[in-house]
Structure 1
């Protein structure tokens, strides 16, 4: 498999761990990644993913953030302990800046929001570290960026509305109305 200027080759070790509790998505992604030359192993839980990361640490991993039995970042941490050179992409349907920062801090190579297709995931796994990723096709709106910031501060304040409002310098009731609404697109 030849590499273009923006990607690295898969290399000798083609092992890929996919961890997701959505069984249908996991099967589709596994099949697509096998077609792209990866040797895929799947896990449907934090426990199974951690066990594989311990016994047979892969060169690549795609880990869902929220799993039924816990947080996918536990799998990322275990993989970093057993194989520091692994390239890990955290994938989630609950995209938030705070979780993206946490994922990258513990060693994830990249962070993608669902729905991400096999091409997006492959590009993230094989991207050269020194190159910047291409700009997003659909960047977040200004309203969404504001909402993400408010959510991050709210989480950092342990979901305390009064403390969050004080730190954001806004009225508590205004903050409550913002928090009660769905996230903007």
Structure 2
């Protein structure tokens, strides 16, 4: 048994809410190995239903889901179980969103891609303890690339619309999309 498992406490229930199915499965397995009793939801509706029926001691919610905002799930959990520790994940780290997440009741806010160790540290941090900074944080180039990819996907892979929304020239965007992702 690892130290992390011993720090969890008696109630090890953990709700994971994310619409990225592959990420959700990987994270669920990793968190189970760390001693959590994991339940998963792929949407805001499913997350709210689980949070209402079985409010978890811990939760990890993606901010942007196909059917809405992950903060709606955070609100339900906070109502049903005020002592729950909640981490909000997002692909775009904006200060305004982080403030909103914490005001609504999130314990911490992490940018994707966060690994299971970062998430566990954030969930188990107590009081004024802050989890250590990530070992391998994303480079600024990678953050920019991730943001561009997300907007591109949200625009149904329409280069012209993505370029307009990002306020960038279409050819510049095409060159960025043609390259591999930065490390």
TM-score normalised to structure 1 length: 0.71
- Check whether the contact 1:96–1:148 (CA below 8 A) recurs between aligned residues: no
Determine helix, strand or coil for the equivalent of 1:9: helix
Q: 1:110 to 1:46 in 2, by over 3 A?
A: same
The one-character-per-residue Cα deviations of 1:23-69 (angstroms, maximum 9, x if unpaired) are: 00000000000000000000000000000000000000000000000
Q: Could you say which residue in structure 1 is the equivalent of 2:160?
A: 162
CA change 1:184–1:108 in 2 (3 A) is farther
More moved, 150-159 vs 24-33: 150-159
Aligned residues between the structures: 181
- Is 2:91–2:146's contact at 8 Å kept on the other side of the alignment? no
9-18 or 145-154: which moved more?
145-154
**Stretch deviating more after TM superposition (82-91 or 127-136):** 127-136
Once the 2 structures are TM-superposed, how far is the Cα of residue 143 of structure 1 from its aligned partner? Answer: 11
8 Å CA contact retained: 2:17, 2:61:
yes
Change (3 A) 1:148 1:131: farther
The 1-side partners of 2:171 and 2:21 are apart by 41
For structure 2, the residue ranges without an aligned partner over 5 or more in a row are none
Do the aligned partners of residues 177 and 127 (structure 1) sit closer, same or farther apart at CA in structure 2, a change above 3 Å counting? same
Q: CA RMSD in A?
A: 5.4
Q: TM-score, normalised by structure 2?
A: 0.72
SS of equivalent to 1:111: strand
List runs of 5+ in structure 1 lacking aligned partners.
Answer: none
* Residue 65 to residue 183, structure 1, CA distance change in 2 (3 Å): farther
More helix by share: 2
User: 5 Å matches for 1:1-185?
Assistant: 9-135=7-133
Structure with bigger gyration radius: 1
Q: Distance in 1 between matches of 2:153 and 2:30?
A: 36
Hey, what's the Cα distance between the residues in 1 that align with 2:35 and 2:65?
A: 26
